[in-house]
Amino acid sequence: MLARFIKRLAWPAMLLTLVSPVMAGDGHEPPTNRYLSDGPWPMSHRTPYAQGSSPLPGPISASDLSGPDYVSTGVTNITLATSPVYPRPKQGYWIERFFGSMLDAQWGQPRVHWGSTFGAVYKLRDNRIVDYKLKPSGISIDNISNATSGAYTVVDKNNTFFTVDGVTILAYRDKYRDKIDSPMELRSSFTLPASSLRGDAKSDPIVGMTLLYDGRLAVATQLGTVAVIKRNFSEFWSVKLGEGDGEQVSNSIAADEKGGIYVVTEKAMYRVQWTGYALTLAEHEGAWRAEYESGEGQVAGRLGKGSGSTPSLMGNPDDDDRFVVITDGQKLSHLTLFWRDEIPNDWIQLPGTKSRRIAAQVPITFGDSSRQATVSEQSVLVRGYGAVVVSNDYRNTDGLDADNFPLFADLLDNPAITNLRNGLVVTLSQLPGIQPFGVQKFQWNPNGGLYGRGGLETAWVNKGTSCPNGIPTMSAATNTFYCVGAVAGAWTIEGLDWDTGANRFSKIIGWNPLYNSFYAGTQIDSGGTMISGTSLGVMQLDGR
């Protein structure tokens, strides 16, 4: 702690420039949601567009990063949400008059990270626990069945942290407002009405969460309820996707500035439309549903059936072509793009696709055209018209599938057992005999494709890089792709050139299993710092 304090004192001017979020000069930053915290990473996947990319500079060499600083926080830490800047405590009149500027420089612009695990929430400052509290339902075995419930979070401009406990939305804040070392308190909570659900907190928990551009929260449950709620929990709207028992949702959701809420289920991609006063599935209001190739079941490492990714939005408001991007559920995974708004009048449905709304459906092979199967569970990383996927095709895990144990098929298909099996695979995923290899970038060409209306092309493939289970990111400022990787059984930070895929650096983190990213997102923080959740905590590698 002393070293960190001295570092802040020694470089005040540098800190003031590094910690302020800056817009990237590439012109591809999504529209700003003014209701979000202005921190570097205020929510899961960073913005409601869920692109996972950042305008801030990241490291360009291994020497730009310090060694890992690890803190234990509990089981699963998918993303950390960054608060707004905390104000400096004010001193007396004469001290402020004569020394205020110097004190401002020394204070810098400190923030905290809010986090959520299976059964708890926590607040970190400089990667040290400020406070830790159990959620109202506590930690229970039922949480294992609901691996992603509570994984996706938001912190708003008022520094209120929103997370989930089953079918209840929790809003936490500082007990002592504007005090960076204040303990947390539960401001309020909202439980989805039973009539809006197809089950209870165990069978139909909230999975996905985002913040709409008008400041309301949007959530999706495991069996397909989509709801919009005011942040003070005073109003609530909901719709149900699918029929009968619903359609399974296993990842988070995205939203655009026009009120579109994007949810992918085990069967279809949806745009649910928020009009400002109602939630609707009506096409004349802008909503739509498009089926995609969802596959036949759940594979090792995947959290549910169908697509393994949170929808990512490609294309900004001024762009002619705007899409929703996912990886599908076929045995040989495909990158699939859907027209986000109206389908162009001259668009001809692509051969072999289930919907005219599909703008591209391209196999992910990681450079091997003979591949018969690929898996990419992590959400698609998007910047501009570029989209990057990483391989989660774990090797030598067939013996863990239900097909090999027909007498125990029902048991192995139980959600809790399935998630335990997947957890075991992910826990071992850095081992040379299991780890997957491959990173592939695709690029939308507005003038390509079969009919000259646009097409998706492979930009590059890196066959030798392994990102075993974490969600990748990229820096627009330094034009570099990053992921938590693995080399010879050790955990690493991998850096690749965004334009070519060439290896820029590999930073060894260590062989400690506590450094396992375990589905977490790789995040770029202020000053070139890299942060990632791990299986049991959080690791931070400071920028040098």
> How far apart are the C-alpha atoms of 430 and 491, rounded to whole Å?
7
| Predicted pLDDT at 236 | 96
Tell me the pLDDT tens digit for each residue of 434-480: 999 999 999 999 988 877 788 999 999 999 999 999 999 999 999 99
276-287 confidence digits (pLDDT tens): 999 999 999 999
Instruction: Please answer whether residues 265 and 326 qualify as being in contact, where contact means their C-beta atoms are separated by less than 8 angstroms.
Output: no
d(CA 370, CA 347): 30
- Judged by average pLDDT, the poorest of 108-112, 255-259, 325-329 is 108-112
Give the residue, 199 or 441, on which the prediction is more confident. Answer: 441
Whether the per-residue pLDDT at 432 is higher than 60: the answer is: yes
CATH number for position 116: 2.130.10.10
- Per-residue pLDDT reduced to its tens digit, 40-50: 999 999 999 99
Query: 97 in a domain, yes or no?
Result: yes
Q: Residue 34 pLDDT > 60, yes or no?
A: yes
Mean pLDDT, the chain, whole residue set: 88
**DSSP annotation string for 325-353:** EEE--SSB-EEEEEESSSPPTTPPPPTT-
Identify the pLDDT of residue 406. 45
pLDDT band at 304 (very low <50, low <70, confident <90, very high): low
Q: Quick one: what percent of the chain has pLDDT higher than 90?
A: 73
Which residues of 59-198 form beta strands (DSSP E)? 69-72, 81-82, 113-116, 120-125, 128-134, 154-155, 161-165, 168-174, 184-191
Residue 225 to residue 247: CA distance in whole angstroms: 9
43, part of any domain:
yes
Residue 19 placed within a domain: yes
pLDDT at 511: 95
CA distance 159 to 180: 11
**Are 517 and 523 a contacting pair, CB within 8 Å?**
no
For 107, the token pair is 């204070």
pLDDT band at 263; cut points 50, 70, 90: very high
Q: Give 12-21 pLDDT, tens digit per residue.
A: 332 233 333 4
**Half-sphere exposure of residue 181: CA atoms within 13 angstroms, side-chain side:** 4
Tokens of 475: 């820096």
> What's CA 456's distance to the chain center, in Å?
23
Residue 339: inside a domain, yes or no? yes
- Cβ atoms 522, 507 nearer than 8 A: no
What does the alpha-carbon distance between residue 104 and residue 144 come to, in Å, rounded to a whole number?
46
Is residue 62 situated within a structural domain?
A: no
**pLDDT: is 138 or 204 the higher one?**
204
Residue 217 φ/ψ, nearest 5 degrees: -85, 145
**Residue 528 sits in which domain range?**
2-54+70-541
Q: What is the pLDDT of residues 333-350, one digit of tens each?
A: 999 999 999 999 999 999
Band the pLDDT of 92: cuts 50, 70, 90.
confident
Confidence (pLDDT) at 149: 63
> Is residue 49 in a domain?
yes
> How many other CB atoms are found less than 10 A from the CB of residue 23?
12
**CA pair distance 262, 340, nearest whole angstrom:** 9
pTM of full prediction above 0.85: yes
Domain count, the chain: 1
In a domain, 20, yes or no: yes
Judged on CB neighbours under 10 Å (0-12, 13-18, 19+), 254 is buried
In a domain, 59, yes or no: no
